[in-house]
Amino acid sequence: MENKEPLIITDKDDMRRWSRSARAQGKIVGFIPTMGYLHEGHLSLVQECKQHSNLTVVSIYVNPGQFSPNEDLSTYPSDFIGDINKLKNKADGVDVVFHPKDLYDYGKHDGVVNARRNDLEEGKVVSCVENSGQGHETWVRVERLEKGLCGSSRPVFFRGVATIVTKLFNIVEPDVAVFGKKDYQQWRIIERMVRDLDFGIKIIGAELLRDPDGLAKSSRNVHLSPEQRKKIVDQESLEVLEEIKSPAVFCIAAWFGNVRLLDNMEIVV
C-alpha cells in the first residue's frame, strides 16, 4: 500500500471548512491534539481514533499558554518533517495535519505582535496578555479538577490546556477526540469541560504506551540520560497502599534532571 500523504492545513478558516465539508458528507471526524515530536504513543492514539471515525485530524501546535516562565517551552523538542513522515508511514496515515502558526491574539499593533512572537520563540510567553489589556484575555478553567495533583505546582498549566483545546475544538469541530491516559488529570479535565460546556464531542481515553524499560513514552524522554531512565523504574513502589476497596488511580509527576515526567496506573477492583 502506498503511504498516504496528509493534507497540511495552517489556516483556521480552511480547517473549519474542511471539517464541515466532511461532516456534511456524513463522515465522522476524529481528532488528536498534539504538541508534535511524535512517538509511538501518539501513533497509538491515531490507531485508536481510527476505530471511532472515518477521517482523522492531528494537530501539531506547541501551546505557549500552558507554560510558565521556569518551564521548558523554549527547549520543547520539535521535528515537523519527521512528524509528517511518521504519520504518513503509520498504516494508511492520517487525513489532515492542522499546523497553525499561532492561535492567540498578541495585540493589534505590529510592534506588539512582533515582540510577542519573539517572546514566543524564546519561551517567554505565559499569559499572552499585554499590560495594556490588548491581546488574548479569555481563558477556560475547570476549577475543581485543576487544583490538585499537577495543578498544585503548575497554576497556569490546565488553564492553558483547557483554553487551547476549546479553541481547537471550535476550529476542527470533530465528532470524536482522543487523549492519552498518560496525562490522566488532563484527560479527566477535558472530559469534564466537554460535559460542562455541552460540546458535542465524544472524548476517548487511550491507554498509555511504554518503552521496553517500563518508562511511559513521552516527547521529553529525549532529555533523559540512561542513568536517569533507570532511576525512574527503580523507584516505582506500591507498598504504601495496603488495601484498595474501590477503583483508584496512582498519578505521579516527578522531576529527573531538568525533565518533568508524568505516569499513572489505574487500579480496578
Secondary structure (DSSP) of 225-248: -HHHHHHHHHT---TT-----S-E
> Based on the domain organization, do 255 and 142 belong to the same domain?
no
Query: Which residue among 42, 52, 109, 136 is the active-site one?
Result: 42
> Based on the domain organization, do 138 and 35 belong to the same domain?
yes
- Among 167, 184, 209, residue at a domain's last position: 209
CA distance 152 to 244: 25
> Based on the domain organization, do 199 and 159 belong to the same domain?
yes
Instruction: Specify the pLDDT at position 158.
Output: 92
> Based on the domain organization, do 215 and 196 belong to the same domain?
no
Instruction: Name the range with the highest mean pLDDT among 10-24, 35-49, 66-80, 119-133.
Output: 10-24
Chain mean pLDDT for the chain: 79
CA distance 1 to 44: 20
Average pLDDT of the segment spanning 103-118: 60
Return the higher-pLDDT residue of 211 and 44.
Answer: 44
Q: Has residue 106 been placed in a domain?
A: yes
Q: State which H helix or E strand residue 12 sits in.
A: helix 12-24
Q: Has residue 145 been placed in a domain?
A: yes
Instruction: Specify the pLDDT at position 4.
Output: 79
> Based on the domain organization, do 255 and 242 belong to the same domain?
yes
pLDDT tens per residue across span 23-48: 999 999 999 999 999 988 899 999 99
Average pLDDT of the segment spanning 100-118: 65
Q: Please state the length of the chain.
A: 269
Q: How many structural domains does the chain have?
A: 2
Average pLDDT of the segment spanning 123-130: 48
Going by pLDDT thresholds of 50, 70 and 90, the confidence category of residue 107 is low
Residue 50 has pLDDT above 60, yes or no: yes
Instruction: Specify the pLDDT at position 97.
Output: 97
Alpha-carbon distances, residue 190 vs 169, 198, 223, 241 (angstroms): 11, 12, 28, 28
| Cβ atoms of residues 229 and 71 within 8 Å | no
> Based on the domain organization, do 13 and 81 belong to the same domain?
yes
pLDDT tens per residue across span 69-87: 777 677 888 999 999 999 9
Domain that holds residue 250: 211-269
> Based on the domain organization, do 156 and 55 belong to the same domain?
yes
Instruction: Specify the pLDDT at position 173.
Output: 98
- One-letter-per-residue 3-state SS of 122-133: CCCCCCCECCCC
CA distance 211 to 216: 6
Going by pLDDT thresholds of 50, 70 and 90, the confidence category of residue 213 is low
Residue 230: is it exposed, middle or buried by C-beta count within 10 angstroms (0-12/13-18/19+)? middle
> Based on the domain organization, do 107 and 198 belong to the same domain?
yes
> Based on the domain organization, do 157 and 134 belong to the same domain?
yes
In three-state secondary structure terms, 112 is: helix
> Based on the domain organization, do 228 and 97 belong to the same domain?
no
> Based on the domain organization, do 205 and 215 belong to the same domain?
no
Going by pLDDT thresholds of 50, 70 and 90, the confidence category of residue 90 is low
CA distance 230 to 127: 36
Q: Has residue 2 been placed in a domain?
A: no
Query: Annotated catalytic, 42?
Result: yes
Q: Has residue 1 been placed in a domain?
A: no
pLDDT tens per residue across span 219-251: 656 566 666 544 473 222 223 344 545 566 666
